[in-house]
Amino acid sequence: MIKKKKMIVTGGNGRFAKVLKKKNKSYKIFFLDKDQLNILKINNIRRYFQKIKPDYLLHCAGLSAPMSLHDRDIDKSIKLNIIGTSNVVKVCSENKVKIIYFSTAYVYDGIKGNHSEKDPVRPLNNYAWSKLGGECAVQLYKNSLILRLMMCEKPFQHEYAFYDIKTNFLFHEEVAQILPKIIDETGILNVGGKLQTVYNFAKISNKRVKKISGKKIYPPNLSMNLRKLKQLI
């Protein structure tokens, strides 16, 4: 019998982690929430590494929605998404553990669309800046994989969806299925699905969603080039 590799998931009580718990068949996963693994306390992280001795760390913890929170509470955004990520990277480096970091497609400018992993980054908002700050720490450690993602819950949770903004959204369930196929890659990888408007994507799981314009909030084309991803899956 092949021994399953061990993985720590930070943000172990978060939305994606809850889906991964149901979908996982490949790894022995330790889902650690913020009350267990405090990413702002580096010795706390070290204790879990000594106890579990993981092969991978999937870094999902941090501050995400609502995005306006990153404007209202810059200190919290910096602490959780930049300093916390830096702490996790440092401990991974000390223990030679592979880190997989969930970033965002919002680091691209969203103007021309079809953004490749080599395109210059120009974050859209403070949330994206905080995630790019985390990317900088992860990039210092070569045994790492940065996933630039567009994903959300299923069914689509919002009342409104943008009819004039194109993206490559995936549901959490789809990302969980892709993860084992890409986990041993390194560098940066765009991860997304079919290019379509946010509204058309939302309608797949929420027929009651209503149309709204997003042009005053976001650039028109946040699409990513998924060539590398398609070669792997």
CB-based burial of residue 66 (10 Å sphere; 0-12 exposed, 13-18 middle, 19+ buried)?
exposed
Residue 120: both structure tokens together: 């210059």
| pTM across the whole model | 0.95
Phi-psi category of residue 124: left, alpha or beta, with phi > 0 → left and psi -120 to 50 → alpha = alpha
**Is residue 31 predicted with pLDDT exceeding 80?**
yes
Q: Strand (E) positions, 173-230?
A: 187-191, 196-197, 210-212
The pLDDT, as a whole number, for residue 23 is 93
* DSSP code of residue 221: B
Three-state DSSP class for residue 169 = coil
* Cβ pair 64, 11 in contact under 8 A: no
In whole angstroms, give the CA distance from residue 227 to residue 233.
10
Q: What is the CATH number of domain 6-158+168-193?
A: 3.40.50.720
Residue 122: both structure tokens together: 């120009």
Read off the pLDDT band of 1 (50, 70, 90).
low
Q: Strand (E) positions, the chain?
A: 6-10, 28-32, 56-59, 98-104, 144-149, 151-152, 160-162, 166-167, 170-171, 187-191, 196-197, 210-212
**Is residue 134 predicted with pLDDT exceeding 90?**
yes
Three-state DSSP class for residue 67 = coil
**Sheet strand arrangement including 56-59:** 28-32, 6-10, 56-59, 98-104, 144-149, 187-191
* Cβ pair 31, 73 in contact under 8 A: no
Mean pLDDT of 151-180: 95
pLDDT digits (tens, 9 = 90+) for 38-83: 999 999 999 999 999 999 999 999 998 877 889 999 999 999 999 9
| Phi/psi of residue 143, nearest 5 degrees | -85, 65
**Is residue 2 predicted with pLDDT exceeding 80?**
no
pLDDT digits (tens, 9 = 90+) for 4-30: 999 999 999 999 999 999 999 999 999
CA 49 vs. chain centroid, Å, equals: 22
Average pLDDT, the chain: 95
